[in-house]
Amino acid sequence: MKFLCLACDTVMSFAERQLPGDGTMTAVFTCAACGREVAMLTNPMETQLVSSLGIQVGGRSVPEQPMELVRSTLATGGDAFAESAPVRVTWSDDANERLARVPTFVRGMVKRIYSDYARERGIATITPDIMDRARAELGLEGM
């Protein structure tokens, strides 16, 4: 899927993705030549179809994790990988509140990314500050 600015005959670039939490998705594309913006709005079925391909609209800011698709979409999954974790990571109340604002659709995957970040650095408790640091270092957006 590509967006072409007809006025400039220029391919528009991905700028921003928003997941309101109701299964829909908004992706904003911008024309680098004239600055015009368009928003692509997908319904839950379209969003889920793309998601079930393991594809991220706007491209990937972090490499795909092992079994990312299954782990992020399985609602009845357990913590099958617990024994591989050398550090038990806990979440502070305010970090949990912030995590709760992430759409359920991707919450599991987002939680895993922050947890892996903390474990790899020996961080025992994830706080909003740690989340901000992870976002900056990993180049995450909207998480």
Partner 1 sequence: MTRRIRSYAEVADVGGSDIGAQVAAQAERLTRRLAGIAHVVAVASGKGGVGKSFVTANLAAALVQRGHRVGVVDADVNGPTTALMLGAARAPLAIADDGVRPAATAAGCTLMSMDLLLASAEAPVRWREPADAGFVWQSTLETGALREFIADTAWGELDYLLVDLPPGTDRITRLLTLVPQPAALLLVTTPSAAATAVVARSITHARHAGVHDVALVSNMDGFACATCGTANHLFGDSSGAALAERMQLPLWGTIPFDAAVGADTDRGRPVILAAPHTAAARAIAAVARVLDDHVRTRVARTTAATAP
Residues at the interface with partner 1 (CB under 8 A): 1-4, 6, 9, 11-15, 23, 29, 44-45, 48-49, 51-60, 64, 66-78, 80-84, 104-105, 108
> CA–CA separation, 52 vs 88, rounded Å?
30
Taking Cα atoms as reference points, which of 36, 62, 58 lies closest to residue 47?
58
Amino acid at 128: P
Query: CB-wise, 36 or 71, nearer to partner 1?
Result: 71
Task: State the DSSP H helix or E strand holding residue 37, giving kind and residue range, or none if neither.
Answer: strand 37-42
> CA–CA separation, 3 vs 28, rounded Å?
10
> CA–CA separation, 31 vs 8, rounded Å?
8
Least separation in angstroms between residue 142's CB and partner 1 is 14
Query: CB-wise, 7 or 124, nearer to partner 1?
Result: 7
Least separation in angstroms between residue 129's CB and partner 1 is 26
Query: CB-wise, 58 or 127, nearer to partner 1?
Result: 58
Least separation in angstroms between residue 10's CB and partner 1 is 8
Query: CB-wise, 75 or 100, nearer to partner 1?
Result: 75
Least separation in angstroms between residue 63's CB and partner 1 is 9
Query: CB-wise, 45 or 124, nearer to partner 1?
Result: 45
List the structure tokens of 142. Answer: 């909207």
127 backbone dihedrals φ, ψ, rounded to 5°? -120, 170
Least separation in angstroms between residue 4's CB and partner 1 is 6
Please check whether residue 118 is in contact with residue 101, taking contact to mean a CB–CB distance below 8 angstroms: no
